Amino acid sequence: MPPDLIAQAFRSQAAPVEFHGRWPAGRSIVNARPTKVAAVFGTRPEAIKMMPVLREIDARGPAFTLCNIITSQHTDLLDPLLRRFQLQSHHCLNVLRPGQTLDQLLSRLLAALDAVLEEASPDLLLVQGDTTSALAGGLAGHHHKIPVAHIEAGLRSGSRFSPFPEEMNRRLITQLATYHMAATPSNVQTLLAEGVPPERVFLTGNPIVDALQIVLASSPPSDQLHALLQELEGQRIIVLTSHRRENSGDTMRGYFAVLRDFIARHSNVTLVFPVHPNPAVRRECVRAGLAGPSIRLIDPLDYPDFLHLLRSAWLVVSDSGGIQEETPSLGKPLLVIRENTERPEAIDSGCARLVGKSPETLAMMLDELAADDTWIRGVQATVNPFGNGNSAKAIVDALTNVIDPIETRSSIAS
């Protein structure tokens, strides 16, 4: 990448501009109205990653007004987070229907957003990541000619159907967004290589690192988790999470069966699996016979408890994106049960290994680690390649000092 492009992209991190109560074009906030920012989110990882940014926006006082548009894509997982993080729901879209297809979800989201954006008329939309909620936010923003800032921009697995539908969602959101908040230099490079104008790309880190730091500093384990960890003292804990749509069916059942057999052969290992509410995941647990005294199937944990559980793990096995971003901060070894990863930085950090879409490979890797756990013992908390905990500040600095949404909106509209 040419050095001037890198310099531009790195601008927000290399030389963060403090907010001094004046707009970039010299407009004083006394004369200018606050920028109305609407955040569209509705899944567990979106709430976790959006929280630090919304707090930071709130902390900037009169420069912004905030409007949270909650899509409620995951109600069971989202509501405890909204309560814990004290995130207000200004508009709740209530689009969840049992067994609905992606198209039905997307069309419900678009219809609901159409009405809300008409009424709320924000200057800027914030979307995060690659969910159907984020795609709907990007598309509705485009239809309403509202500039969209995309947090966690520039991730690519390189495979249209893995993860599904997230890989295509994130590519489409790149086309729809005006501003792109990239977590890593390689994400910046991807966006520039795809022709995104460099002045629209900001290297900010991923606010999940901020969220993890905020939560670990302020929330001890609950009594229930404390009791579970005490009960399992002396055991090697494998923490499992799995919910990816492209794994459901034979592959997920295969991974679960491998873990069941591994646990049966190792009396010093216990599996703790906070089971995702998706019925497809629960079905595969039953079909794989994932049960027994050393297999703890539990409800999804509150975010702080889940982080404390990860901290106690001997090994983490997961298909989650967010967990790949968290484990480097926690110094925990992770086996990624996916065909590929859009987060190669986790592998490069030495904290994660890619299993591939192959239960047989998982079985082989587990056997190797049981025989020789040098890698596991060697994984230490490291400089997290996804951020340093200042991502929310970098994002909001970009919003305040570099981006002028009010002007942008009028120029898009004209």
Task: Tell me which residues are annotated as active site.
Answer: 130, 152, 166, 243, 245, 276
Helical spans, DSSP H, in 121-222: 132-143, 166-176, 185-193, 207-218
- Give the interface segment with ligand UDP, choosing from 112-120, 295-303, 373-381, 385-393 (CB under 6 A): 295-303
Task: Note whether 122 binds ligand UDP by CB under 6 A.
Answer: no
Task: Note whether 132 binds ligand UDP by CB under 6 A.
Answer: no
**Identity of the residue, 122 or 321, whose beta carbon is nearer to ligand UDP in the bound complex:** 321
**Identity of the residue, 35 or 132, whose beta carbon is nearer to ligand UDP in the bound complex:** 132
How far is 7 from 2, CA to CA, in rounded Å? 9
Residue by residue, DSSP assigns 247-262 as GTTHHHHHHHHHHHHH
How far is 280 from 286, CA to CA, in rounded Å? 10
Q: Are 228 and 36 in contact (CB under 8 A)?
A: no
Task: Note whether 134 binds ligand UDP by CB under 6 A.
Answer: no
Task: Note whether 135 binds ligand UDP by CB under 6 A.
Answer: no
Considering only CA atoms, which of 145, 97, 94 is closest in space to residue 117?
145
**What is the biggest distance separating any 2 CA atoms in the chain, rounded to whole angstroms?**
70
- For the CB of residue 80, give the shortest distance to ligand UDP in the complex, in Å: 9
Look up residue 302 and give its DSSP letter: P
**Residues 369, 375, 381, CA angle at the centre, nearest 5°?**
130
Task: Note whether 64 binds ligand UDP by CB under 6 A.
Answer: no
- For the CB of residue 241, give the shortest distance to ligand UDP in the complex, in Å: 5
Binder among 57, 301, 316, 337 for ligand UDP (CB under 6 A):
301
The residues with which 238 forms a beta bridge, in sequence order, are 271, 315
Radius of gyration of the chain, Cα coordinates, nearest whole angstrom: 21
- For the CB of residue 242, give the shortest distance to ligand UDP in the complex, in Å: 9
Task: Note whether 204 binds ligand UDP by CB under 6 A.
Answer: no
Look up residue 266 and give its DSSP letter: -
Task: Note whether 385 binds ligand UDP by CB under 6 A.
Answer: no
Q: Are 339 and 159 in contact (CB under 8 A)?
A: yes
Structure tokens at 269: 């290992």
Considering only CA atoms, which of 164, 49, 146, 226 is closest in space to residue 413?
146
Task: Note whether 255 binds ligand UDP by CB under 6 A.
Answer: no
Residues in contact with ligand UDP, shown as a per-residue x/- string from 262 to 281 under the rule CB under 6 A: ------------x-------
Structure tokens at 360: 């047989």
Binder among 85, 179, 306, 386 for ligand UDP (CB under 6 A):
306
The residues with which 239 forms a beta bridge, in sequence order, are 272, 316
**Identity of the residue, 128 or 390, whose beta carbon is nearer to ligand UDP in the bound complex:** 128
What is the identity of the amino acid at 132?
A: T
Task: Note whether 44 binds ligand UDP by CB under 6 A.
Answer: yes
> Among residue numbers 346 through 365, which ones bind ligand UDP (CB under 6 A)?
none
- For the CB of residue 353, give the shortest distance to ligand UDP in the complex, in Å: 17
How far is 70 from 144, CA to CA, in rounded Å? 18
**Identity of the residue, 192 or 208, whose beta carbon is nearer to ligand UDP in the bound complex:** 208
Task: Note whether 238 binds ligand UDP by CB under 6 A.
Answer: no
How far is 260 from 284, CA to CA, in rounded Å? 12
> Among residue numbers 310 through 349, which ones bind ligand UDP (CB under 6 A)?
320-323, 326
**Identity of the residue, 274 or 350, whose beta carbon is nearer to ligand UDP in the bound complex:** 274
CA atoms within 13 A on the CB side of 11: 18
**Identity of the residue, 8 or 72, whose beta carbon is nearer to ligand UDP in the bound complex:** 72
Question: What is the total count of residues that contact ligand UDP (CB under 6 A)?
Answer: 15
Task: Note whether 221 binds ligand UDP by CB under 6 A.
Answer: no
- For the CB of residue 368, give the shortest distance to ligand UDP in the complex, in Å: 25
Task: Note whether 256 binds ligand UDP by CB under 6 A.
Answer: no
Q: Which residues bind ligand UDP (CB under 6 A)?
A: 44-45, 48, 241, 243, 274, 300-301, 303, 306, 320-323, 326
